[in-house]
């Protein structure tokens, strides 16, 4: 997908890479036994290791290793059987040791790729450079006191996967599509909950611009800790425009770390960007190198679930869904499982229409998740069958759905109890048609005189007279016959 930013002078393109920090789903932290529960009181889940107390030694949490390997397999990446932990040295209040335990030269996961689908129908492969695991920093709180900052160490030491991409993004849309796909994959795998609003998935974007057709890379700026897909797209576009404006005024770009301001939609300067040498990386002396066996990796492969791309292709082939509908239904594992249960033994395409239409509209209006839905997959499947068997019309089905939502009863029971069965008896419907025609001689004469657009009006009157119970197909057939 070609995306350029045109000015009066030039045509520019974006060059962007992402670093995504995903908190690993694990009951305890990566190097301590402290809880990772989100939402607990400040500084409730802190061990001596997390607080940087002298003499405390880290012990690697094997679950964090397992989750990182699983994620690497989900991103079609190489799993490195040898990896090493290092110390990344920097001073900040949220890192009490004065360093972060991370991986540098030898990460646990190597190169991989993720396919993204774009709005114009095209697809693109985004390269994964690496995934390494590390400890998260504490949370700084600046808005409780005008003169002081507070630190909550509950997050300190939580296991992180840092997923680094190649600089393959050429538009904000591509970056947004990738973040959505990555979030979907880690949620399918249950290795990260993907909740950007809670900070368990955060994005850093490295952005530079160059003239269209220009080779090589120019100086970049890094936007730190963006916490939504929408804001990431806005930050990339805004930062690109800022850099273009500087270049066209004859200026140069410094390698900076910047922050996206959600209220203004602008990026703002934080500090000059550090280089790797500034961190003085060296191997972590308290943790030995990590060795993984082929058997260990193969056992994790056996746990892998069907991921969004594979599920999407299967839904298209098996149920005849459009790529767009299949994409929406496979975005989350919950919606895909709900659809598959509802479609089993029923018309999958019509089931998809009811889920994406009536069900999702009601869930959104009532601010409910799919897990909280009063309407079950079995109810949707049975409702589709009742329409297909001409027991009820599509119009009546909407009323039945409303009753289902309120009562949580199966549609067949609702139809029976409320007398909503469709009238398919030709004689009974024909009698109603004759009555409508007899009661409206003026419109009947107008139709016969050539005003054929009144046909729909007659259909509506018959349906009204039957209280919506007449079979619409039969009504149309009889009216065509009688109106000539």
Euclidean distance between CA atoms 302 and 357, whole angstroms: 36
* Shared-domain flag, residues 201 and 336: no
Q: Count structural domains, the chain.
A: 3
| Chosen domain end from 386, 418, 450 | 418
* Shared-domain flag, residues 438 and 378: no
What are the φ/ψ torsions at residue 235 (nearest 5 degrees)?
Answer: -65, -40
* Shared-domain flag, residues 86 and 220: yes
Among 399, 313, 388, residue whose Cα is nearest residue 350: 388
Contacting residues for 461 by C-beta, under 8 A, at least 6 apart: 436, 440
What are the φ/ψ torsions at residue 86 (nearest 5 degrees)?
Answer: -130, 165
* Shared-domain flag, residues 387 and 313: yes
| Chosen domain end from 373, 388, 418 | 418
What token pair was written down for 406?
A: 């309120």
* Shared-domain flag, residues 414 and 432: no
3-state helix, strand, coil in the chain (%, to 5): 40, 20, 35
Strand residues in 201-343 grouped as ranges (E): 201-211, 221-226, 256-261, 266-272, 282-283, 290-291
The pLDDT value recorded for residue 428 is: 72
* Shared-domain flag, residues 20 and 61: yes
* Shared-domain flag, residues 216 and 335: no
Domain that holds residue 462: 426-483
* Shared-domain flag, residues 125 and 252: yes
Query: Does an H or E element contain 162, and which?
Result: strand 159-165
Strand residues in 7-138 grouped as ranges (E): 11-23, 82-83, 85-89, 99-103, 112-117, 123-135
* Shared-domain flag, residues 321 and 285: no
Among 282, 286, 280, 300, residue whose Cα is nearest residue 81: 300
Each residue's pLDDT expressed in tens, for the chain with a length of 484 residues:
579 999 988 999 999 999 999 999 999 999 999 999 998 999 999 999 999 999 999 999 999 999 999 999 999 999 999 999 999 998 888 888 999 999 999 999 999 999 999 988 899 999 999 999 999 999 988 888 989 999 999 999 999 999 999 999 999 999 999 999 999 999 999 999 999 988 899 999 999 999 999 999 999 999 999 999 999 999 999 999 999 999 999 999 999 999 999 889 899 888 876 666 788 999 999 999 999 999 999 999 999 999 999 999 999 999 999 999 999 999 999 999 999 999 999 999 999 999 999 999 999 999 999 999 999 999 999 999 999 988 888 888 999 999 999 999 999 999 988 877 776 667 777 888 888 888 888 888 888 888 888 888 888 887 888 777 777 778 888 888 878 7
Cβ contact 114:182 at 8 Å: yes
* Shared-domain flag, residues 292 and 312: no
Euclidean distance between CA atoms 388 and 320, whole angstroms: 17
Chain position carrying tokens 């774009």: 118
Cβ contact 411:400 at 8 Å: yes
* Shared-domain flag, residues 187 and 61: yes
| Chosen domain end from 300, 320, 339 | 300
Our measurement of the distance from residue 332's CA atom to the centroid of its chain's CA atoms, rounded to an integer in Å, reads: 7
Name the H helices within 6-79: 62-74
* Shared-domain flag, residues 325 and 266: no
What token pair was written down for 115?
A: 């396919």
Among 144, 128, 159, residue whose Cα is nearest residue 31: 159
CATH code of the domain containing 463: 1.10.10.410
């Amino acid at each position: 997908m070609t995306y350029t930013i045109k000015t009066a002078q030039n045509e520019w393109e974006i060059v962007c890479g992402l670093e995504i920090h995903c908190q690993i789903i694990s009951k305890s932290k990566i190097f301590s036994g402290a809880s990772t529960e989100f939402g607990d009181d400040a500084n409730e889940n802190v061990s001596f290791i997390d607080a940087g107390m002298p003499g405390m030694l880290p012990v690697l949490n094997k679950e964090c290793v397992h989750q990182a390997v699983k994620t690497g397999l989900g991103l079609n990446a190489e799993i490195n059987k040898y990896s090493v932990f290092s110390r990344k040295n920097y001073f900040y209040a949220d890192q009490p040791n004065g360093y972060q335990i991370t991986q540098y030269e030898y990460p646990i996961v190597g190169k991989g790729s993720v396919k993204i689908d774009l709005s114009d129908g095209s697809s693109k492969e985004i390269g994964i450079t690496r995934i390494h695991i590390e400890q998260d920093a504490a949370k700084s709180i600046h808005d409780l006191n005008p003169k002081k900052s507070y630190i909550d160490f509950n997050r300190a030491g939580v296991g992180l996967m840092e997923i680094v991409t190649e600089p393959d993004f050429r538009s904000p849309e591509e970056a947004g599509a990738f973040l959505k796909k990555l979030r979907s994959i880690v949620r399918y795998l249950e290795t990260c909950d993907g909740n950007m609003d809670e900070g368990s998935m955060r994005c850093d974007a490295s952005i530079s611009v160059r003239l269209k057709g220009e080779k090589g890379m120019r100086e970049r700026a890094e936007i730190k800790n963006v916490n939504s897909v929408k804001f990431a797209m806005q930050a990339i576009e805004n930062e690109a425009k800022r850099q273009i404006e500087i270049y066209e005024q004859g200026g140069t770009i410094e390698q900076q770390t910047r922050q996206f301001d959600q209220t203004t939609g602008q990026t703002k300067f934080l500090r000059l960007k550090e280089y790797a040498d500034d961190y003085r990386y060296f191997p972590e002396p308290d943790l030995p190198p990590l060795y993984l066996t082929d058997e260990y990796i193969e056992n994790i492969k056996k746990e892998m679930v069907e991921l969004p791309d594979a599920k999407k292709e299967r839904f298209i082939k098996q149920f005849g869904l459009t790529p767009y509908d299949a994409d929406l239904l496979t975005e989350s594992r919950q919606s895909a499982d709900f659809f598959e249960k509802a479609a089993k033994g029923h018309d999958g395409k019509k089931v998809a229409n009811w889920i994406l239409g009536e069900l999702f509209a009601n869930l959104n209006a009532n601010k409910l998740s799919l897990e909280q839905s009063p309407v079950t997959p079995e109810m949707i499947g049975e409702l589709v069958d009742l329409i297909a068997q001409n027991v009820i019309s599509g119009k009546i089905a909407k009323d039945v759905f409303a009753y289902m939502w309120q009562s949580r009863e199966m549609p067949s029971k609702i139809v029976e109890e409320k007398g909503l069965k469709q009238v398919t008896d030709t004689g009974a419907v024909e009698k109603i048609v004759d009555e409508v025609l007899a009661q409206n001689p003026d419109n009947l004469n107008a139709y016969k005189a050539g005003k054929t657009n009144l046909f729909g009006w007659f259909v509506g009157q018959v349906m009204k007279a039957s209280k919506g119970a007449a079979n619409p197909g039969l009504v149309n057939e009889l009216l065509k016959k009688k109106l000539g």
